[in-house]
Structure 1
Amino acid sequence: MAAAETALVSSSSLETGPAPAPESTGTGAATAATSPATAAARTGSEAMVSKAALATKLLSLSGVFAVHKPKGPTSAELLNRLKEKLLAEAGMPSPEWTKRKKQTLKIGHGGTLDSAAGGVLVVGIGRGTKMLTSMLSGSKRYVAVGELGRATDTLDSTGKVTEEKPYDKITQEDLEGILQKFTGNIMQVPPLYSALKKDGQRLSTLMKRGEAVEAKPARPVTVYSLSLQKFQPPFFTLDVECGGGFYIRSLVSDIGKALSSCANVLELTRTKQGPFTLEEHALPEDKWTIDDIAQSLEHCSCLLPAELALKKPKPEESHEQVLSCEYITLDEVKREDDVIKTC
């Protein structure tokens, strides 16, 4: 499961316009004589006004927040699910609002988690998508469960077993003693199954096709802290805080080799990304509503450095947002797997 740092930005066209004014209700006997058809029309009109207000509020959201990604969907699939829920809540798009001025909902995620991993996924909405670069260059924290004695081609439990070695003589002291070797500024070889590219295609895609792929050279990465939380052979649990471009799968595999055995990742959870923590800031799916996200954006604004505070939009910016298709890195040093993708 890679800690490869990528961000994805997508857009959806929202059609908004002046909300239809509710029909006059009249007074006195006229009110009492209102026909069922008129009442139904009034109810429909009020519902439309409500949806228009929600759409306007959705388009006004800007900033960075976090969601809780479960195991299963990819980060991109989760982003689409989030976007669809917000559009549905706002009643967008609506056939009744055709021919009206369109605006674009811009939403993106940063710091991709593999489908088998879960935890904090940082999301930018509106002008907040432009903040992902600075926000995601900070540290990340993970809890990883490794398995000794078994290696796979993907370096995690989703892959094919490529090697098995004994582990029964490995003690907790052996494991704790080896961790210091992987702390600080170290060199790390990325996994073959990764978002790194060769000739414009991901290595993982080439591997799945059965094509021969050479490992990328080792590159400098940073591990701020690394500790053993639990050891029940063959399983061990690590708490890792690292910088950008770091792969937990490679770490676990390298630890196995250093112990004269082998290892792969069974479970991976990102508990912190930048200032966002899983317990305090990550919204579960039942909180993916316009109001909950608005509250989260307000709550999380105090986490941002002053220089990243969102400025009030200029008048012309409030009329129509445009998705900028650009490639930018998420780390100070550009990496092939550290890009914002647009779709």
Structure 2
Amino acid sequence: MTETFYDVLRRQGISRRSFLKFCSLTAASLGLGPEFAPTMAQALETKPRTPVLWLHGLECTCCSEAFIRSSHPLASDVILSMLSLDYDDTIMAAAGHQAEAIIEEVVTKYKGNYILAVEGNPPLNEDGMYCIIGGKPFLEQLKYAAKDCKAVISWGSCASWGCVQAARPNPTQAVPVHKVIRDKPIIKVPGCPPIPEVMTAVVTYMMTFDKIPELDRQGRPKMFYSQRIHDKCYRRPHFDAGQFVEQWDDDAARKGYCLYKMGCKGPTTYNACSTTRWMGGLSFPIQSGHGCIGCSEDGFWDNGSFYNRLSDIHQFGVEATADKVGGTAVAAIGAAAAAHAAVSAIKRARNKAPANTGENS
């Protein structure tokens, strides 16, 4: 019988109090509210762990590095224990034929009931020979593992969009996972790498509710990709006020002004960086003084220099660029000041005028 998530925790000596705290904090990170914590706890106590095959194609392994560094409580033990991570050639002890036999065993034994997680992407050129796993093209391994899975998670921008491997001129003809696997639900979790807590929260949601989270039209979980980084950025007030960094390390940079003119892609990038942040909520690139490069967006590698500023940013439903918004804000402040001065002058004039006695002079 397959262990439940809670069974694994108890075996590792984790207290029920810590387990319930994990459920509460995870529910909060998913935006579900505290009333869902008991539901999450019950699900993790009773449901058997879901078998997972985690494959690696063309990639740099940064998604795995991010995942295992999630600072969410108990993440290093709990999240990996939540899954029955049967195959991951980066961290597994098995090797060679012994490792590859695990894929066939999971596909056969858990047909229709396992999750396929994919990090990286398949190259199509030369029949996939640009990426060989276990003596076979990764393309072949991917198709075989996906044919009977319940769902696919595309970790990172490589699996979601193609990323640098698919950038022009793309000699290997690398493509994102959804260009090869077309008959399965695919959850895209883009980023280079994705935020660790976003990755673990997506897994937790799927384990708890036995369904995929609500996705946007591009296949990304809405709970983390429904708002632009710009919408919740702490530098946003400076953008609205027309206060921008003009050169690296100028006085405006020291004051923490908006990085839009330095090429920040926050106004066109959908991700949770400005709210969830990195390293346990410590910081994110914009807070560290560098503009967003838009790594979670499709084709970001081919969208020009990371330091070319965006030329057409619409705000508040108004057709205007960022410069016009800033200029309008300054003009509005000037207009408001002028109006205030005019009103004040009228009031002073009225106060000085003699009282009307109602008699004709």
TM-score band by shorter chain is under 0.3
Select the structure that is richer in helix: 2
| Larger fraction in strand | 1
**Higher relative contact order structure (alpha carbons within 8 Å, sequence separation ≥ 6):** 1
Q: Which has the larger radius of gyration?
A: 2
